[in-house]
Structure 1
């Protein structure tokens, strides 16, 4: 068709030496053909629908498409020729804006090392002023674009960006670009940002910084003998004066090293906070993207100027635009690494949600992540030392892959292909489980330097995320900019947060550990059954028992064995443990067991960590409370850490004895006073300001005259007494679903959602948990979560045999009467109390960690025998005689019923 003329040939004589008369466009209405040159269109790939000039009268202008997710300038402007006049619109736009002065660190070459990134996590951009030998980077000097063309190949196809329209032109070669760049008279401002040069003669003159080579997953994990590999490690960028690249995130959340060989560059950088990424996703998918400057939509946009010789590292996920104040040549490269896999995956899923074309994605992305996971497995088996950031990346990547693969069902070739699982990985799910477990152990067994968390101020009024999103407009209207400006609540990202399926709302969804998707329930017959959770992670049945995790802030820390450290950093560690999951691959069944006696009482106690990562329970047994002949026992079930439980176990009984009400024999007031005082003491202790932990407290005070037992309880640990084989409750669980508890929570400004305080804490009374005690207008007993105990007095009778204090790790598995029956059966064999405690915990221990719920908790039990004037041997004989099973008329055993 090149010899034919089109309807516009007479109006547009061939004067452009680059004209291409072999490219035609057919009108979508009348089917007439036109030369692209005569239409003044450089790239026909940008046209979605073409209407010839006569047909435009009825159908308006042609519709252009873009390789990006939205347009930069209206195609109508380009067709009318107005875009050419706006070539320098970006320069004028940027000059009219105000940007934050950056405070990014400047380093010398000898300061850049893996050790630095293990400490900082490479979370903010950094600049190296000079390329010195210590950086381990080699760069060519005095390099020109003409030399680049010769070294790479003048015939190399090249994608060129038309700056005014931010559109791609694909018909160029590197030789043509060199001619254009060398010509001082340029018809348009153009830019090259995607020339990958690995394997070329130019690449032989370049060595990437040593630290990049030491952390790049392609270098570390990709098989050396593989025929194909991601080619993203070396780019040559060439921009003419006034070039501009609009805001974007480097593919796959990859980080970038960026060295300016000649000229200058100005970067406009935005931190990838959850809010900013959500705004970016919405902006990049909006039809109004071309008329909205993204820097106006965020709180802080930083400018950084680079000159020849400068090197900058742009970390994972940073949103940035680039302006070229003078002709510039830059060498850079992209790399994925082990210090921020969470944001890397987050950017990947934003690309998924916004349908970024494959050609603009990180090549072999999922396969490289699998290889990285395989490398993690190798490193963990070698017992290397890791930073917090590396262990976090292991956990995030493991959970991400485990979830996506486990959803598919049985492994087959189709699933392997879908998830780009390398052939070298025979058991993908086994790999994820192994890495997750070993990374947990690495975190728990080493003193890792942790990043400090930022202390956040409480807001007077908080609108729920769901409500906020329902109120948002679906379209990117003119009010959006103002909304986004005001919406600068940059909460930290929770990788387990539920997200909407709507792309505009969705950021990324990396769910909880898929190895923990079921809860286990014990029925009245002690049979354990599985029950699926709903999408919110709670059971659809009200009777289902909650997981051990009382709150979404995570449990971390052993009991007496835990090393006490900085509370703000321990919070970070807890957050990572939450991501990793709460259970071990094998339970820790070693027990802490004690026994004791005086002339009135005999006791045995035992505690076991079980399936949990750490031991958070504490206990107390004082036969003679500071020489008063009173006795005191307590079980303290920790959550969110062990610090509060440990402190309470060491101190609460002392507060009881020192209370002014104790000597007055006002024991209910003495116990209540002690609970309130210890909570206040913790709140005023600087070392507990940032501690997220709390604990239940169930305590029993036996009066000096041995006539009464006073049981105080706050939380869902429990006390019972066996009287002639019948269980009698000495405490009642405090749950948010209880009407009285719910009323107090609501009156304090909280709410109950999914039977949890503020949708978070699964009990309504506790010591500690100060985030739920923030209403300064109310006394302690009226806070949403209060430490104020209920106290029950029991008068000891001749029929009373023993009483039991235990955490919910026992009561989740057995009823009150089942516990009494079990203990009495063991006493029939004259088994010692401390041994019964151990056997009771073994009986409740789940055979596996499926679901991380019932039978997977820490467990603590105290059994106290009431001697009533008997000796120890006499009491055991008495209990043996009382536990001979009673028979009905048919000779069947009669089981005791609960009172």
Structure 2
């Protein structure tokens, strides 16, 4: 069976940005990374039309075992939600949440019919989405992609991953005749809720929400406030490498030294790659008017930090001829104040490579991308694969 990993990661990033008339700006970036196929998809609509001109919608879809479901949902899920008629300008939060829930069930039912008729691949997809109204933020989650809100410098809300080992999820799986083995449904699927994955939804007499894998999202609403700063929506290629609080601190810090949201997204992707993420990586940053702004003080501190790093490397390399891996291991061992919170010296690896070490030998990216730590010298093809949504050894695919 072919390896799910490449010998060398694909590092090209796809990035876009945009904004709305009502003060929301966003950027999205994605990278295939070590994975043999790019299975992520996304949707960014900062301003819906008609009576919903003050509404926005953002979503990340993390596909597994193929791309069909993720791509289909990225193009059609919002329309399916809106077609229920529950999302209106005169907003009723309970109606909106029910419309979202019904939209997920409707599109999953429709895809199930299409998959049988058109012989689709046997793929599935997680979904992490937000629907923004003038008054509320609706958090939508199905699977283990994740969203959080930074307000006044803190993570005030984040979605919970749907994993088979969660007691409530495990009970549903067992009631449907399945088991949870090695944190997977029937030893195969590592998420307990997803769109698609129709091999796990074949008990005709059971409702959609009581199958082995449920397409039902969890939906929460929060009232918007002037202290809202930004939203992060990302696939587990991000969350495998960095936690909520770390990422919040890192993005807040970067917003104070960079006014290009695409560049900040790219820095997050690089950080996750260098921290050992082996998956496709996709991230959306949505900034509200209350987000941190670039400050001269922060820019001066950033300049001083980069000068300090450059000085340390030059002093160390006077009597050495190191490669980039050597330089990064040396910097990791040094006490360097002022490094980006949540990122540390790892977040400076691209800068070190591009600006600080032109005289050093280059290192293969496979040597630089340590699995979890710089002490681990293995590449993905030498590792036991991480928990993917569909395990190659036990999946029916």
Equivalent residue of 1:845, what SS?
Answer: helix
Q: Which position in structure 2 is the counterpart of 1:581?
A: 3
Matches within 5 A, 1:96-495: none
Q: Which position in structure 2 is the counterpart of 1:278?
A: none
* Distance of 2:235 and 2:166 partners within structure 1: 19
Contact 1:830 1:876 in 2 (8 A): no
* 1:440-485 CA-partner distances (Å, limit 9, x unpaired): xxxxxxxxxxxxxxxxxxxxxxxxxxxxxxxxxxxxxxxxxxxxxx
Q: Which position in structure 2 is the counterpart of 1:798?
A: 226
* 1:605 equivalent in alignment to 2:28: yes
* Distance of 1:797 and 1:880 partners within structure 2: 27
Equivalent residue of 1:856, what SS?
Answer: coil
* 1:679 equivalent in alignment to 2:101: no
* Distance of 1:770 and 1:759 partners within structure 2: 16
Contact 2:42 2:74 in 1 (8 A): yes
* Distance of 1:864 and 1:776 partners within structure 2: 40
Contact 2:232 2:285 in 1 (8 A): yes
Q: Which position in structure 2 is the counterpart of 1:659?
A: 84
Contact 1:695 1:766 in 2 (8 A): yes
- Relative contact order, higher structure (CA 8 A, sep 6+): 2
Q: Which position in structure 1 is the counterpart of 2:241?
A: 813
Change (3 A) 1:860 1:896: closer
Once the two structures are TM-superposed, the CA of residue 831 in structure 1 deviates from its matched residue by 3.8
* Distance of 1:728 and 1:607 partners within structure 2: 25
* Distance of 2:170 and 2:149 partners within structure 1: 28
Question: Which of 62, 65, 68 lines up with 1:643 in the alignment?
Answer: 68
Once the two structures are TM-superposed, the CA of residue 825 in structure 1 deviates from its matched residue by 1.7
* 1:838 equivalent in alignment to 2:266: yes
Change (3 A) 1:777 1:864: same
* 1:759 equivalent in alignment to 2:187: yes
5+ residue gaps in structure 2?
302-336, 343-397
Runs of 4+ more than 2 Å apart: 686-691, 875-885, 892-897
Equivalent residue of 2:49, what SS?
Answer: coil
* 1:260-309 CA-partner distances (Å, limit 9, x unpaired): xxxxxxxxxxxxxxxxxxxxxxxxxxxxxxxxxxxxxxxxxxxxxxxxxx
Query: What is the count of residue pairs matched by the alignment?
Result: 299
* Distance of 1:768 and 1:792 partners within structure 2: 22
Contact 1:846 1:856 in 2 (8 A): no
Equivalent residue of 1:632, what SS?
Answer: strand
Q: Which position in structure 2 is the counterpart of 1:696?
A: 126
* 1:675-707 CA-partner distances (Å, limit 9, x unpaired): 11110110011455452100000110001xx22
Contact 2:145 2:234 in 1 (8 A): yes
Once the two structures are TM-superposed, the CA of residue 845 in structure 1 deviates from its matched residue by 0.8
Q: Which position in structure 2 is the counterpart of 1:482?
A: none
* 1:733 equivalent in alignment to 2:155: no
Matches within 5 A, 1:74-93: none
Contact 2:39 2:70 in 1 (8 A): yes
Change (3 A) 1:585 1:624: same
Q: Which position in structure 2 is the counterpart of 1:709?
A: 137
Matches within 5 A, 1:3-14: none
Q: Which position in structure 2 is the counterpart of 1:595?
A: 17
Equivalent residue of 1:590, what SS?
Answer: strand
Once the two structures are TM-superposed, the CA of residue 729 in structure 1 deviates from its matched residue by 3.2
Contact 1:626 1:657 in 2 (8 A): no
Question: Which of 43, 46, 52 lines up with 1:620 in the alignment?
Answer: 43
Once the two structures are TM-superposed, the CA of residue 600 in structure 1 deviates from its matched residue by 2.1
Matches within 5 A, 1:886-897: none
Once the two structures are TM-superposed, the CA of residue 879 in structure 1 deviates from its matched residue by 7.6
When normalised by structure 2's length, the TM-score is 0.71
* Distance of 2:177 and 2:119 partners within structure 1: 21
